[in-house]
Homo-oligomer: A and B are copies of this chain.
Amino acid sequence: MGIVKPTTLSGFMELLPQNQMQLDRLIDTLKNTYALYGFAPLDTPIIESAEVLLAKGGGETEKQIYRLTKGDSELALRFDLTVPLAKFTAANYGSLSFPFRRYQIGKVYRGERAQRGRFREFYQADIDIIGDEKLDIMNDAEIPSIIYRSFKALGLSNFVIKINNRKLLAGFFEMIGKGESSAEILRAIDKCDKIGIEKVKEQLIKEGLDDKISDKLISFITFKGTNPEKLAYLKEINESNELFTEGINELCAIAEHMHSFGVPEEYFEIDFSIARGLDYYTGTVYETIIKNHPEIGSVCSGGRYDDLAGYYTNKKLPGVGISVGVTRLFYVLSEQNMIQSTGATAPADVIIIPMTEDFAPAVSAANELRNLSIRTQLYTEKKKFKARLSYADKLNIPFVILIGEDEIKSGKYTLKNMKDGSQSLLSLEEAASLITEFTKKESQISLICENTEGK
């Protein structure tokens, strides 16, 4: 029989168990935080009809899409979670209650050029709040608090949520007489972080802005100050432009509530240069930067859009949402050595090694520990004692319970702590509470450690 080489496609993340447990913990943390804000889970198919998925069509997306045919049907794999949400909301409009708050954490597919750190299959973790006709600005104000709580729960504390409003940019363009060509100007501004101010100015001039107006635009988007200073500045430069005024009011409403939402001042920064490339944003836009690692780019972005599902329904469904690129985030944090391997990354809390011919006492002990919610592995392979311990050690399992004749007679079991090598003779109940206490403590160690020195 010929052997086929067991390879995994490039651009597809496939992790060893310990790393998979880390990724699962990242995903669970996001899920649990999202759920705290009243979002319901959604799980749409990975395959959709190509017509539905590409209703909007065009652009880079279409080139990257994975297409397939089954019978007569032209199918495609989803490339984001927003299009399936639009389809779902339009299709189930009558059965949903609005605002419809949903989270979805799932894999999406983009056939990008394979590149280190770029993935063709990756998890996105999205939340969106969809209104029927209208959606209050308070929903936009709640989003930064969800980002804040999520990243805090992951163990990050050195990050900042940047916020802007598209209406400010659009209004500003109108005020400088460039309302019509705003899409290209937006794209130039969006590159601000990547290419620097000088290059942005070059592009602005290429777009037909003169030197003076370019400088005016640049001095706007680079305005420095505290959040209140920035809001005051906006009011100062407003030439009673309608859009600009709306932008100011929306940004003020959001800033006003940050404190009540529990987001400390230093985690929230108004930044007039945030534009977001995607063209469907129409109001608030968000980006999240890890301060020590700005090179990673935004780890959580999103914004407000006027019309979620215009391709599928005549109902007007405005919304606001954010997305975390989970796979890429996990990859860069791992690269930076910021993911902790302590804290629940072993497949079991304890391993039971029977030292007698009769396995029954060991089996019963395992069963009892599982009844107490302790993740227990029973090791019954016929191996040398040393090999058994080394198995536990390699899997990072913190405790071993040895069950031999003496243990069975006395009802006291040898509990070995694999970290410090200490051993104690304990009843099963005593061992159980010691293990539970330990795993409880371990589970409180955060997934991400910012200070990589301290690891």
Q: CB within 8 Å of B: which residues of A? A: 1, 3-9, 12-18, 20-21, 23-24, 35-49, 51-52, 55, 66-68, 70-71, 73, 75, 86-88, 90-92, 95-97, 99, 101-102, 107, 109, 111, 121, 131, 134-136, 138-139, 141-142, 145, 149, 257, 260-262, 309-314, 347-348, 351, 359-361, 363-364, 367, 370-371, 373-378, 380-382, 391, 394-395, 397
Q: Of all chain B residues, which has the CB nearest A138?
A: B380
Q: Is B42 within 8 A of A121, CB to CB? A: no
Q: A260-B363, A347-B39, A360-B257 are in contact. Are A370 and B149 (CB under 8 A)?
A: yes
A319 → B minimal CB distance (Å): 13
The answer to whether B3 touches A378, judged by C-beta atoms less than 8 angstroms apart, is no
State how many angstroms separate the Cβ of A335 from the closest Cβ of chain B.
19
The answer on a CB contact under 8 Å between B312 and A52 is no
Q: Which residue of B lies closest to A137 (CB)?
A: B380
Q: How far is the CA of A42 from the CA of B88 in the complex (A)?
A: 29
Q: Are B7 and A52 in contact (CB under 8 A)?
A: yes
Chain B residues whose CB sits within 8 angstroms of the CB of A309 once the complex forms: 6
What are the residues of chain B within 8 A of A138 when measuring CB–CB? 359, 363, 378, 380
Contacts of A55 in B (CB 8 A): 4
A394, B311: Cβ atoms under 8 Å?
no
**Chain B residues with CB below 8 A from A360, complex form:** 257, 260
What are 14 sample pairs from A and B whose C-beta atoms fall under 8 A apart? A3-B312, A3-B313, A6-B87, A6-B91, A7-B87, A9-B73, A14-B43, A15-B43, A38-B348, A38-B378, A138-B363, A149-B370, A257-B363, A261-B363
For A1, list chain B residues within 8 Å (CB): 310-311
